[in-house]
Amino acid sequence: MLTIPNGLKISGVAGDHFRKLKFHRAARSFLNSLAAALKLPSSAYQLRTSQGGPAVCGETVLHGEALYVCVFEGWQGEVRVLYRACAGRRDYTGGPNHYVQMSELETVVNQARFVDACRELMQMSDELRLTA
């Protein structure tokens, strides 16, 4: 269902330029597989990467019309995914943040739950648009 490349199974990315590049390529692959699972046309979202400085991992983001998903390395070295509803691509605050560790997404059952949760948030984004 979702692609979780080996580059997302490593820790200690900050401070290692080559590991950081591998991490961000892997994060883009994961986010593209999420977009495919959600059946998002390529025109409905942007993928962007901020590698940050040498002391941090940075982040790779899928920002759609109704969903914001960010892959990053947590402060303990675990790869995490932040996801929330949003009201367009200019909405950088959106709804409440939700988190999942990448290691939790290694089973097909948990991947399906995550994709379903993203779909639910996308439906909730209509409510955000009404209150914005």
Instruction: List the structure tokens of 96.
Output: 């409440």
Domain holding 110, by residue range, is: 6-131
pTM attached to this predicted model? 0.92
36-50 per-position pLDDT tens digit: 999 999 999 999 999
pLDDT at 88 over 60: yes
103 assigned to some structural domain: yes
84 assigned to some structural domain: yes
- For residues 104 and 76, give the distance between their C-alpha atoms in angstroms, rounded to a whole number: 16
Q: What is the 3-state secondary structure (H, E, C) of 53-87?
A: CCCCCCEEEEEECCEEEEEEECCCCCEEEEEEECC
1 assigned to some structural domain: no
- Please tell me the total count of domains within the chain: 1
37 assigned to some structural domain: yes
